[in-house]
Structure 1
Amino acid sequence: MILSLAITLAIQVLATMAALTVPVLAPAAAAGTGIPATLVGVFIALVYGAAMASSLASGSLVARYGAIRVSQACLLLCGGGLALAAGGTAWSMAASALLIGCGYGPVTPASSHILARSTPAHRMGITFSLKQTGVPLGGGLAGLVVPSLVLLWQWQGAALAVGAACALMAAIAQGVRHGFDADRNPRHRVSPAGVLRPLGLVFAHRDIRDLALCTFFLSAMQLCLTTYLVTYLTDEYAAPLVTAGLVLALAQAAGVGGRLLWGYVADRWLAPNLVLSLLAFGMAAAAMATALFDPDWPLVAVVLVSMLFGATAIGWNGVYLARVAQLAPAGQAGQLTGGTLFFTYFGVVLGPPAFAALVSATGSFAAGYAGIGAVLLAVGAALLRAVAKGRA
């Protein structure tokens, strides 16, 4: 179990770092390419749009080629996407986003396939949560390492260096492929029609379907926190940029701790659906408290609310993925995870633009956070109703 967790965590870290490298180096790239750094939102939308499609194909690909082989291909796609980004044109950036998204989408379903086979049932929550810390860790590495690489080798060299790291990780994974891919079926058919099969499987399992639909809103909340908090703090709380960045970093750190804590709670004390329901209520409360930020608030209060926001809005993923793996029939964890991630990534694609539209209509980030907080109250109630009906 330790080896499977270590390899899937490392792959997740590198794939996430690759997905966030271009947003981090965007200001430096803008100076040389003339492409506005503000278009980074379009880049992220393309990444997750491609990830939606590729996550659906992941189940069939894992069944035929094995989870490690698919993960290696994902890392190479991410590396190739970063090489394209170094081209510095609008078209190469768009192609880069699509290629990285195609690589990012199957990473989680492939790792779920591995972990579902190697993890005891009573450790699912904490194991999947540990693996999912790779997302904030990858984001943190992008924020810490990429700017230094830009100083050393310019922005193109930074993109190529992270791409090379992805290729190196793909080579390292070859050493464990024989054991982890022993269940692959080379005769398994991969067809366009089979790409939609994970969606059919999701809707055939009511509990998994309901979880998938809820994660559309949970992921939207997560991205609205990480995308807009710094701007909100500088514009409406009047915090200096460095202070706002530090608050976001603390929220991200709380998200890492939250992923581990909620996974442990779901394994030891509370049913996973109940944990997810409480987390939805928690992030709704944090969003509404965030909407009340005022320049008269002490900074320590803003930090505490933001860390609660991070612990809940960033911390739910491991419990959710473990629950999907628990509910999935034997051998179908990867396909069902891919199907549910279609809805999760859809929330990532649509959530921030919807939030931005609400802010634009009201002229207030506070209204945006209050609005999405109200939506999460309804999601928490829906999950709690499922628990009350004995469906957890």
Structure 2
Amino acid sequence: MSPPLAPPLLPALGAMMAVQVVIAAAIFVPGTVAPRIGLSPAALSLFAALVFGTAMVMAARGGALVARFGAMRVAAIVCLAAAASLAVAAEGSIVALACAGVLLGIAFGPETPASAALLGRLARPADRPLVFSVRQTGNQIGAALGSFLLPPLVAAVDPRFGYVAVAVPALAVAALCLVLSKRYDGPVVDREPRPARTSVTAPAAGFLAGLRLVLSHRPLAALALASAAFGAMQLTLNTFFLSHAVGLGHSHVEAGIALGVAQLAGLAGRLGWAMGVGRIGSARMIVAGLGLGMGLAAVGLAVAGPFITYPALIALAAVFGATASGWNGIFVAEVTRLAPDARIAETTGAVLSISYAGLLAGPGIVAMTAAIGGLAASFATLGVIALAGAILLILERTDR
């Protein structure tokens, strides 16, 4: 009997894009409504730290969760967790925001390992940079929708309505993934037979094995460390740009439009940079170039300060978004290229745990530097760190 055919790629790609749209939008809501409800940089930093601290732990469990439940079921679970997070955050207190951060971290952590395991097996190796970049555009779609739609929506209705506007689509995507799980969570795709668990430490041992693999493989280790710097920079753009632009004298809606332009530039960048891999032949060098671009954009925004005009702010936001929000797809594709074929989810989870360490450190750096020199100091500091990550990738050129 011939083996069953693998299910088609496009429905899985569409579903995983939809998952990322709602997760990105959920992460984006507090920063978008912050000027309207008076959330301080410290409160936003606490929320972001809890999101990515929890995500770092959950990403490490991503491979085990996929092996146990299947990628589509994991995707449904994370959407439900995102909807629950938004419902809690709508209560409005700092305690509720902190609890929402933990719930959203539970959603955010396993999402990329699940999609990497599923799409990495369905896509041909040559197609992976484009497939993962297309999938990662879900982040920009969610963020762009939040930038353009949420500020006028919360101004016209109520800030809490921003949370509801994202929670409802998250529930719809969860239902979609549950329907698709009947086809995609079979043995052909991502659920392989496992030996009986003999120790309660088995999952931890699996993660430690993945972490040892990453740290012993110099190209993977350099990629993971650089991604920590780039992730912190991307977080700062998405969470604090709007508040910084309002602080420079622009209106809430104007700042939202500028941030929306950044997200659209990131959307175009994710696709454009993926196509560039075919021409240049090195995803690593493109990621390094984007690190240089985001670092310079952040420093430029900090130096310009209140003297920046609105057209100049729009232009700088576009450059910032194309680089700081455009690197993720080819980064994930490069991780899957370097990872052993049977350990894609495990390796991706280990790399992302290092990436999320940068996302966890980013809010703390923002809180400390903003207290000293405002958000301009935060952008400058993290811009320099992003430049260091780019230099690390340039110096480490070894292929597998």
Partner of 1:12: 20
Q: After the TM superposition, which residues 179-218 of structure 1 pair with which residues of structure 2 at under 5 Å, given as runs?
A: 179-183=183-187, 184-185=191-192, 187=194, 189=197, 191-195=200-204, 196-197=207-208, 198-218=210-230
Contact 2:28–2:238 (CA<8 Å) still a contact in 1?
no
- Residue of structure 1 equivalent to 2:371: 360
- The CA distance in 2 between the partners of 1:287 and 1:275, in whole Å, is 18
1:259 maps to what in 2? Answer: 270
Deviation at 1:138, TM superposition (A): 1.4
Is 1:122 matched with 2:126?
Answer: yes
Q: 1:27 touches 1:37 (CA, 8 Å); kept in 2? A: no
TM-score by length of structure 1 reads 0.86
- Distance in 2 of aligned mates of 1:182 and 1:71: 15
Pair 1:268–1:155, CA change in 2 (3 A): same
- Give the share of equivalent positions with the same residue, in percent: 33
Does the Cα contact within 8 Å between 1:74 and 1:104 map onto a contact in 2?
yes
SS at match of 1:182: coil
Post-superposition offset of 1:223:
1.9
Q: Aligned to 1:287, which of 267, 286, 298?
A: 298
Cα distance between partner residues in 2 of 1:53 and 1:98: 11
Which residue of 1 is the match for residue 51 of structure 2?
47
Contact preservation (8 Å) 2:291, 2:389? yes
Instruction: Count how many residue pairs are aligned between Structure 1 and Structure 2.
Output: 384
CA distance in 1, matches of 2:148, 2:329: 24
Residue equivalent to 2:5: none
Q: Distance in 2 between matches of 1:292 and 1:53?
A: 36
Task: Tell me how far 1:312 sits from its aligned partner.
Answer: 0.8
Look up the equivalent residue of 1:377 and give its one-letter code: L
Secondary structure at 1:391 match in 2: coil
Give the 3-state SS of the residue equivalent to 1:315 in structure 2. coil
Residue 372 of structure 1 pairs with residue 382 of structure 2: yes
Counterpart-to-counterpart distance in 1, 2:107 and 2:119? 19
Give 3-state SS (helix, strand or coil) of 1:106's partner: helix
Paired residue for 2:399?
391
2:147 touches 2:256 (CA, 8 Å); kept in 1?
A: no
Taking the TM superposition and a 5 Å limit, the aligned residue runs for 1:200-349 are 200-236=212-248, 238-293=249-304, 298-349=309-360
- Cα separation, 2, equivalents of 1:21 and 1:80: 14
State the Cα RMSD in Å. Answer: 3.0
Q: 2:29 aligns with which of 18, 21, 26?
A: 21
Matches of 1:334 and 1:327, distance apart in 2: 12
Tell me the SS of whatever aligns to 1:280: helix
> Do the aligned partners of 1:8 and 1:111 also contact (CA within 8 Å) in 2?
yes
Alignment match, 2:391: 381
- 1:208 Cα shift? 1.4
Task: List alignment gaps of at least 5 residues for structure 1.
Answer: none
* 1:64 aligned residue: 68
SS at match of 2:340: coil
C-alpha distance in structure 1 between counterparts of 2:106 and 2:69, whole Å: 16
1:162-202 Cα shifts (integer Å, max 9, x gaps): 33432222221223223322231464649555243332332
Are the counterparts in 1 of residues 31 and 238 from structure 2 also a CA contact under 8 Å?
no
Normalization by structure 2: what TM-score?
A: 0.85
Q: 1:88 to 1:111 in 2, by over 3 A?
A: same
> Tell me, which stretches of 5 or more residues in structure 2 are unaligned?
1-8
Whole-angstrom distance in 2 between the partners of 1:70 and 1:110: 7
Residues 216 and 348 of structure 1 are in contact (CA less than 8 Å); yes or no, is this contact kept in structure 2? yes
2-side partners of 1:128 and 1:246: how far apart?
27
User: CA 1:85 to 1:226, structure 2 compared with 1: closer, same or farther past 3 Å?
Assistant: closer
